[in-house]
């Protein structure tokens, strides 16, 4: 399991998971978006990565910020796996997903959010390790990449470093 991705081009297709008041895009739309975004990208030189953001708070320790419906990832997982994407970034730390959805990724690597990006509370090694172990019941460890949920901008620098160190220490166990 890789704790970080370095020297790779990151292309983001934000808002595939629509806000709660809007319908999620169809799998056909997802395939079209990923094809258009990555159509001329040489996959032998660049890893094609999409981050699927399902909600972003406006401040540290926000509790009830808008999030996409919990089943959003499940609805689009097969389409993502069939697309041109090599890796997909999924948020999981702020709200646990049904990990059954990981079974839908047979060829695509999953960059798996293990750190809450807007919580001042540090995750414990045990919490992160248990979530990784749970995920590995549904996906091969070669396909699972440890990561924070998207963006660490709300966190003070030192807290972000401490959270990332805990996550990396856990990832190294695998």
Domains of the chain by start residue, with CATH? 27-171 (3.20.20.210)
Other beta carbons within 10 Å of 118? 22
pLDDT value of position 123:
97
Of 58, 45, 173, 162, which is closest to residue 115 (Cα–Cα)? 162
pLDDT value of position 22:
52
Residue 68: C-alpha distances to residues 10, 104, 159 (Å): 22, 19, 27
3-state secondary structure of 156: coil
Minimum mean pLDDT range among 18-32, 48-62, 159-173 = 18-32
pLDDT tens for each residue of 68-85: 888 889 988 998 998 888
pLDDT confidence tier of residue 66, bands split at 50, 70 and 90: confident
pLDDT tens for each residue of 90-139: 999 988 999 999 999 999 999 999 999 889 999 999 999 999 999 999 99
């Amino acid at each position: 399991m890789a704790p970080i991705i370095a020297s790779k081009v990151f292309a983001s297709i934000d808002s595939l998971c629509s806000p709660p008041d809007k319908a999620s895009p169809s799998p056909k739309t997802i395939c079209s978006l990923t094809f258009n975004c990555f159509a001329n990208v040489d996959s032998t030189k660049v890893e094609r990565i999409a981050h699927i953001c399902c909600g972003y708070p406006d401040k540290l320790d926000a509790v009830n910020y808008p999030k996409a419906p919990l089943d959003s990832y499940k609805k689009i997982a097969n389409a993502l796996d069939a697309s041109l994407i090599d890796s997909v970034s999924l948020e999981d730390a702020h709200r646990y997903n049904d990990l059954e959805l990981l079974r839908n990724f047979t060829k695509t690597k999953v960059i798996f959010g293990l750190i809450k990006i807007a919580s001042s509370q540090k995750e414990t090694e045990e919490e992160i390790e248990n979530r990784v172990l749970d995920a590995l019941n549904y996906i091969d460890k070669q396909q699972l990449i440890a990561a924070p949920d998207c963006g660490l901008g709300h966190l003070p620098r030192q807290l972000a470093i401490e959270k990332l160190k805990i996550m990396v220490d856990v990832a190294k166990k695998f």
